[in-house]
């Protein structure tokens, strides 16, 4: 497995940043039945690295935390995301181009987010107005972002000399390469943005929630229990 991933990384490092996929580079092999993208294993760890072609200059928005002593904080595009899963728990770390770090923990029922503007965890309820999970840190339903369009209808073929399926969402949409053996994404590309996926050594034990997250998790479990008892049974 490790050798296969390494070969994939070396191959894609040499690919052009162009969005166009040369039809001559593809073989029209049929897709098998079943899921085209697998869920990550219950115990797994993977990384998404972001690059932006020839656009080397970081750009982003500036915000000033109400209690900040450092003045305005500038936020840039994602640089890396690392996800660790020990089902049902998972932990995500997002780092942007200015090295701001955002963490997310999921206890199996509720996600909690820390930073970069706040040092204490925020409970991220479902469908709370004005409160959204940070992009690339929401792994409650899917393990890999922006791949919901992958289907037999968007399949272009298999990259010659490799085991990678190639899919494209429309003639000018994003393109993704999927390892047909593992059925995990290897590379995602749209315009100048490229995301490279790497699976890392899986954890050998369950994640442990940090003390403050564990306290919030117990409080949320208690609230759910109380709410459940208040709901009338039988209609």
pLDDT digits (tens, 9 = 90+) for 43-82: 999 999 999 987 765 555 555 444 443 456 678 899 999 9
Q: Is 122:114 a contact under the CB 8 Å cutoff?
A: yes
Give the mean pLDDT of 190-212. Answer: 95
Separation of alpha carbons 122 and 103, rounded Å: 10
* Three-state helix/strand/coil letters over 20-83: CCCHHHEECCCCCCCCCCCCCCCEEEEEEEEECCCCCCCCEEEECCCCCCCCCEEEECEEEEEE
Q: What is the pLDDT of residue 68?
A: 41
Q: What is the pLDDT of residue 59?
A: 55
Q: What is the pLDDT of residue 87?
A: 93
- Whether the pLDDT of residue 131 is over 80: the answer is no
**At 235, is the pLDDT very low, low, confident or very high (cuts 50, 70, 90)?**
very low
Of 9 and 221, more confident:
221
Give the mean pLDDT of 163-183. Answer: 94
Give the mean pLDDT of 185-205. Answer: 95
118-147 burial, b at 16+ Cβ within 10 Å, e below that, comes to eeebebbeeeeeeeebbebbbbeeebbbbb
Separation of alpha carbons 155 and 56, rounded Å: 31
Q: Judging by beta carbons within 10 Å of its beta carbon (0-12, 13-18, 19+), is residue 203 exposed, middle or buried? A: middle
Q: Read off the pLDDT of residues 18-30 as tens digits, 9 standing for 90 and up.
A: 446 888 999 999 9
Where do the domains of the chain lie?
2-10+42-230
Tell me what the pLDDT averaged over the chain comes to. Answer: 82
Q: What is the pLDDT of residue 22?
A: 87
Q: What is the pLDDT of residue 85?
A: 95
């Amino acid at each position: 497995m490790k050798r296969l991933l390494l070969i994939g990384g070396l191959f894609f490092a040499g690919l052009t940043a162009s969005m166009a996929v040369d039809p001559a580079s593809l073989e029209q092999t049929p897709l098998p039945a079943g899921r085209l993208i697998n869920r990550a294993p219950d115990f797994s760890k993977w990384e998404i690295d972001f690059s932006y072609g020839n656009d080397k200059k970081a750009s982003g928005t500036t915000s000033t935390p109400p209690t900040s002593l450092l003045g305005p904080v500038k936020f840039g595009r994602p640089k890396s995301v690392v996800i660790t899963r020990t089902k049902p728990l998972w932990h995500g770390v997002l780092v942007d181009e200015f090295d701001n770090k955002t963490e997310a923990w999921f206890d199996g029922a509720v996600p909690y987010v820390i930073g970069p503007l706040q040092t204490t965890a925020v409970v991220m309820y479902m469908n709370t107005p004005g409160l959204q999970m940070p992009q690339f840190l929401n792994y409650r339903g899917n393990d890999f972002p922006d791949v919901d369009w992958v289907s037999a209808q968007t399949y272009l073929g298999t990259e010659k000399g490799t085991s990678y399926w190639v899919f494209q969402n429309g003639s000018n949409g994003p393109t993704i390469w999927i390892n047909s053996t593992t059925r995990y994404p290897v590379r995602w590309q749209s315009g100048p943005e490229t995301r490279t996926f790497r699976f890392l050594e899986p954890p050998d034990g369950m994640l442990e929630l940090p003390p403050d997250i564990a306290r919030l998790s117990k409080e949320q479990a208690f609230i759910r229990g109380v709410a459940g008892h208040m709901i009338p049974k039988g209609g």
